[in-house]
Structure 1
Amino acid sequence: MPDPSVVIRPARLEDGEHVWPLAKAFATSFTPERSAFDATWKQLVDVPDTLLLVAETTDAGIVGYLLANSHLTFLANGPVAWVEEVMVDETLRKSGIGRLLMEHAEQWAKSKDAAYLALASRRAGPFYLALDYEDSATFYKKPLT
């Protein structure tokens, strides 16, 4: 059962300072740069069709975040939603915070009339399977930089 002191809310511009350490710890394929994070953070707060949430506790402050977006597709006969990043502080994993973030993302995706909510994950498969997500595809990427 999630701690009732956890609040999931839309991110604000001033939250970037607290999300940066989480984003830095999340990255595995790239090394995040602070200046690029700051510039991107400013662009993502309050963008239509983008969901940027933080998980905040009364004791520890911001302990997680989620970034998702929605876009139109042909294959799904309309919009789909995609979780780009979801991260919870390592010391608070398995406390229900990730579940709360994903539940908020699901509600947001439904409000966008998305056919589905999807994400790519190599490290957290059991977590998503426990939330009733299906292992659906193999993820391919080609670095361009």
Structure 2
Amino acid sequence: MKISIRRGQSEDARILFRLASQYVTGRESITRDEFTIALDNILRYREQEANVLFVAELLGEVVGYSLLTVSRLLHAPGLTAHLQEIVVDEKHRKQGIGERLMEANEHYCMGRGVRQISAMTSHIGNFYNGRDFQPIGQHYRKILEIG
């Protein structure tokens, strides 16, 4: 099975929107218009690239993606990365696609001198546990009303 990983592009918008709809967070889903604005912002070039979008293809079909944010923190030396999202299409899970996306993120980080990758999850802790991630805290969220 040939899984290829590449950087996401605006041409991937339709399938990425469908995949993003599978990312369950316990709050309302993103609308197509909101998604289009977010994707445009994520793909915009920046000198100190903050967002890294990888897509996974299986036989030429996009079947997963990951979104990584690279930044500096005040409490940690060097660059830090946070895996914001990793999604594999429901019908293609357990085929090594998530593993390949993680490898791409780690390779990217090592090439940039990133010292730490973090991720939060409430659903698939076993995915991270098998990749040498260590649980270090709890995640809290507050949804704000706008307007």
TM-score, scaled relative to structure 1:
0.91
Identity of aligned residues (%): 28
Q: Which residue is equivalent to 1:41? A: 39
- Correspondence list, 1:1-145, <5 A: 3=1, 5-30=2-27, 31-47=29-45, 48-58=49-59, 61-145=61-145
Runs of 5+ consecutive residues of structure 2 not aligned to the other structure: none
C-alpha root-mean-square deviation of aligned residues, in Å? 1.3
- How many residues end up aligned between the 2 structures? 141
For residues 141 and 79 of structure 1, the distance between their equivalents in structure 2, rounded to whole angstroms, comes to: 24
Deviations 1:28-49 (CA, angstroms, capped at 9, x unpaired)? 2332111100111112114422
For residues 141 and 110 of structure 1, the distance between their equivalents in structure 2, rounded to whole angstroms, comes to: 30
Large movers: runs of 4+ above 6 Å: none
For residues 111 and 72 of structure 1, the distance between their equivalents in structure 2, rounded to whole angstroms, comes to: 16
Residue 102 and residue 46 in structure 1: after superposition, are their counterparts in 2 closer, same or farther (change >3 A)?
Answer: farther
Runs of 5+ consecutive residues of structure 1 not aligned to the other structure: none
Structure 2 letter corresponding to 1:45:
L
Q: Aligned-pair distance for 1:90?
A: 0.9
For residues 45 and 27 of structure 1, the distance between their equivalents in structure 2, rounded to whole angstroms, comes to: 22
For residues 93 and 143 of structure 2, the distance between their equivalents in structure 1, rounded to whole angstroms, comes to: 30
TM-score, scaled relative to structure 2:
0.90
